Every structure is written in C-alpha cells, then in structure tokens.
Amino acid sequence: MKHKIADHWRRSTREVVASDFDYIDIDDVERDEDDFFMSNGHWNSGPSSWNDPEAALNQQEFWAIYETCHNNLPPKMAKVFMLRELVGLEADEVCLETGLSDANFWVTMHRARLRLRECLEIRWFNTTKKGKHHA
C-alpha cells in the first residue's frame, strides 16, 4: 500500500511548479520554536488533554478531524508531511519526489507538525468548546 500511495503522488506531482511552495523565513521558524519549545529543545508543555493518545487514534472521529486539519495545510506542505509520516518515505526520498532541499524539507515538516498540532488542539483535544470531543 505504501508503494501504491507513493506511486500516486509521483504521478500527480510531475506537473508541480517550484513556485507553488512557500520558501523559508527563518524568523518565522524561530518565533514558532519560542512558542512551543524550551531552550533545551523539549516541549514547553504537551497538548493539554493528550491523556490517552492511543485511544484517540482508534476513533474514526479523530481521523475525520485529522483529515480536515491535514487538508487545511498548504498543498505542498500536506504532501510532504503525508509522504514522510503516513507513507513512510525517508527524508531523501521525499526531497527527491517534491524537489525540496534537505533544509527546506525539515522546515516544512516542522511547520506542518506545528500547524497540525494547533488544529488538533482546537478541533479534537479542546475540552472548553461546546460539542467538541476530548480525550
């Protein structure tokens, strides 16, 4: 299945233009890191309600919300994240498929993780919003 997904993305990206991607702004990366990480590289705090993440992964509603969050990423960022984390391609394979440099790949992955974390915090783990599920 992993290879079929990778083949699908290879076919669909042959016409991707390099200008479709946002380039790195180092100041944005540093600001993002200041919000979530301590100086030693560890998280300031984990998501507020991630008490049982394995149970959340098994719930169909979680995946529907995850898909919404993933679809809200910029298209190239979503593709890079999907190829690396869901398909399981190595970083160099993703770079080859997407035309990213190694540095740009890691910044893209960092930004995708931050955006997904924020979206999931709001849409899935937020216990203060009426009608939202919490773990």
Q: Where are the domains of the chain?
A: 53-130
User: Which of the listed CATH numbers 3.40.50.2300, 1.10.10.10, 3.40.120.10, 3.20.20.70 matches domain 53-130?
Assistant: 1.10.10.10
Residues, the chain: 135
CA distances from 128 to 48, 86, 122 (A): 11, 30, 9
pLDDT digits (tens, 9 = 90+) for 45-72: 665 555 666 666 667 788 888 899 999 9
pLDDT digits (tens, 9 = 90+) for 93-112: 999 999 999 999 999 999 99
Among residues 121, 90, 108, which one has the least CA distance to residue 29?
Answer: 108
Other Cβ atoms closer than 10 A to 125 = 21
Residues 6+ positions from 126 with CB-CB distance below 8 Å: 48, 49, 132, 134
pTM (2 d.p.): 0.55
